[in-house]
Amino acid sequence: MTTTDFTAMTGLELMRWVQTERPADVPSIGRLLGMRFDEVEHGRIVLSLDTRPDFANPLGSVHGGIAATLLDSAMGCAVHTTLPAGTGYTTLELKVNYIRSARTDGQTLTAEGTVIHAGRRTATAEGKVLDEQGKLIAHATTTCIILPPVG
């Protein structure tokens, strides 16, 4: 298990650490789904994953929860990049629009999250999920509450 002190890192530092270190010993939804941190900037994150049969809904396409999780992760992590060390956040609201289905055959889905507003108490962001052909799978907005440092 890692001994890295996450509370000492700014949100941007933490997201860059995850991108470069790809910690396999830190339990997370990203590890469970096989998410990759492709781009990390202040206020912007790009994540991707490869679909698999386990992601199927009863109709055989990728379950909408996978796209929603990608969006929640990309937008939330984008918000996190704007926060100082020791400060957290959590999703207050998530609004997802589904445009088309995605296949479960290993295609790469890419999610981009971008901060719209980062305030002292709340932050908002928008996101989109694209398939390998650049077709829009889903798009979303979120509102996050900023949690003050503990202690």
- Of 132-136, 140-144, 147-151, which gets the smallest average pLDDT? 147-151
pLDDT digits 0-9 by tens, 45-97: 999 999 999 999 999 999 999 999 999 999 999 999 999 999 999 999 999 99
Give me the helices (H) in the chain, please.
Answer: 11-21, 29-33, 64-80
Residue 126 and residue 143 in contact, taking contact as beta carbons nearer than 8 Å:
no
Other beta carbons within 10 Å of 142: 25
Cα–Cα distance for residue pair 15/40, rounded to 1 Å: 7
What is the residue-averaged pLDDT of the chain?
A: 94
Average pLDDT over residues 130-144: 98
* pTM, entire model: 0.94
